[in-house]
Amino acid sequence: TPYKVGKQRNSYSLAVDEEFFILPICYKGSSCFLASLGLLLLENRQTSTLITFCKLHSGEADFTFGNVTGLDHVRRKGDCSGPKNFKGEITINCTLSVYPVVTSYRVVLRNGSNVYFLRNQGHVAETLVHIEIAGRPQNYVGSVKNYRVDRLGLITPTFSQLPPALNKYLHVLQNAYRAHVSTELFNIFQQRYVYAFGRAFAYKPMPRQ
């Protein structure tokens, strides 16, 4: 092939603006369990992806100042099941939808002696997470019992101000972006979200019906 993606020098990282919002989880009818959900700030690192545009000309795309917005766009997907009482423990299961989410980076593209400053956005399709909240007989306050990412939304990256001569290599940038940013997003949903949910439901009384 006339191009290849070289080894990355640093890992991608997204900075998450600190969010604080109310997450309503409605189980049935008008009964809702309100939880305050806070997300922590993630460290922002510089990253580079090496790209060879042709046999004699190499280029480098630097992605910096990564940011993700829309993590507060959380909605219940379908009906929750519960509350259920089993051996004195009350549990509620919900599937949650996170959409729309947008990622962005500052992109500097170097090709030979030419330097281009690009604008980038990555539109993330609907992400689904499953959460089980449990209240134990001691006090029946909520805590996260089980959590998983059922589906991570596909990222559709766009780059504006790309020189026409380099348009044929757009898919190289897009594929590299999808691969690395998807991993970073999964870590956010898998680690930061479950921690935030744990904080959100802590000390909140569980509904009995």
Does position 47 have pLDDT exceeding 60, yes or no?
A: no
Q: What is the pLDDT of residues 103-128, one digit of tens each?
A: 888 888 887 788 889 888 999 999 99
CA triple 185-187-192, angle to 5 deg: 105
- Residue 151 has what pLDDT? 97
Percent of the chain with pLDDT over 70: 71
Average pLDDT along the chain: 74
Least confident of 18-22, 130-134, 176-180: 18-22
Longest alpha-carbon distance in the chain: 70
Does position 22 have pLDDT exceeding 70, yes or no?
A: no
Q: Which of 3-12, 39-48, 197-206 has maximum average pLDDT?
A: 197-206
What is the rounded distance in angstroms from the CA atom of residue 98 to the CA atom of residue 19? 14
Q: What is the pLDDT of residues 65-109, one digit of tens each?
A: 788 888 878 888 888 887 888 888 888 899 999 999 998 888 888
Q: Which residues contact residue 159 at a Cβ distance below 8 angstroms, ignoring those fewer than 6 apart?
A: 107, 118, 119, 120, 170, 173, 174
**How confident is residue 2, by pLDDT bands cut at 50, 70 and 90?**
very low
Question: Within 13 Å of residue 16, how many CA atoms lie on the same side as its CB?
Answer: 20
Please give the structure tokens belonging to residue 136.
């134990």
Does position 145 have pLDDT exceeding 50, yes or no?
A: yes
103 vs 50, higher pLDDT: 103
- Please state the rounded mean pLDDT for residues 140-153: 91
13 vs 72, higher pLDDT: 72
